[in-house]
Amino acid sequence: MSNTFALTDVLPLPNSSVKIPRLGFGVYRSPATQTTQSTLKALEAGYRHIDTAQFYANEKEVGEAIRKSGLARNEIFVTTKILAPAGSPEETYKKISDSVDKIGGKDGYVDLFLIHSSSSGSAGRKELWQALERLLEEGRTKSIGVSNFGVKHIEELKPFAKVWPPHVNQIELHPWSQQRVIDAYCKKQGIVVEAYSPIVRNYKANDPTLVELAKKYNKATQQVLIRYALQKGWVPLPKTDDPERIVSNADVFDFDISDEDIAVLNALDQGSAGAIVEAVENE
């Protein structure tokens, strides 16, 4: 089966008119001094989806890059995230609103706002979700979602949520940690699955199976992993500050990994033991 994708491809979010670009550019661990330059390079290379977070301390610099890019704001999809509640519903709302100000100014918006972690406890997750729902109602974000949420965390939102299912769940995904339970659950619910650490921070660059496939397709190992994520139906968010790598990570639309080779990569799965950041808790 042919998997024809293009850098301009988008996916629809559930119960929403919003569409999310199939490939994103992550700025995790990108120093603030470097973020504007790297984001501009990514936009120049054709990326139209930028993924930041309060925790990364570079939201303002992403906003600067968007303004400097010369692109219309509606041509770029921007995601940010909140890690934990701020002490009260009002303070939590203010904290997320401040992020939107940093990225887009007082009249600005973001395209997607996520709860960054499931670690705030049930009351904390509820407070965060209700703050995001308010932001969505006010038009300061176009969509809302979660990150590092397992099945139980998403189900837990259902009784009180005005918006359910979440539009997106961003989790660690690559051949060594395929998180099959949450992936299948999200797909069944129509939740778009984003893959962070899709290139495993290059820890697997010398993996014999991966190296062999990279040779076979005449591509870098990173390109094989990003292409794999696309063919799995995920939205990969590779990150790098290397200008050449920024370009090459987007050069994944001129080859197709065969079903046989997808099966070879699938066989590398180590379950939660294969995660380098976090495997979600489903039960």
Binding-site residue set for substrate: 116
User: Which helix (H) or strand (E) segment is 137 a member of?
Assistant: helix 121-137
- SS3 of residue 147 by DSSP: strand
Question: Which pairs count as long-range contacts for 34-39, CB under 8 Å and 24+ apart, including other chains?
Answer: 34/241, 35/61, 35/62, 35/65, 36/61, 36/62, 36/64, 36/65, 36/68, 37/65, 38/240, 38/241, 38/243, 38/246, 39/65, 39/66
Query: Catalytic annotation on 228?
Result: no
Taking the C-alpha atoms of residue 159 and residue 227, their distance in angstroms, rounded to an integer, is 37
User: Which helix (H) or strand (E) segment is 144 a member of?
Assistant: strand 144-147
Binding site, by residue number, is 116
Among the listed residues 47, 56, 93, 185, the single catalytic one is 56
Residues with active-site annotation: 56
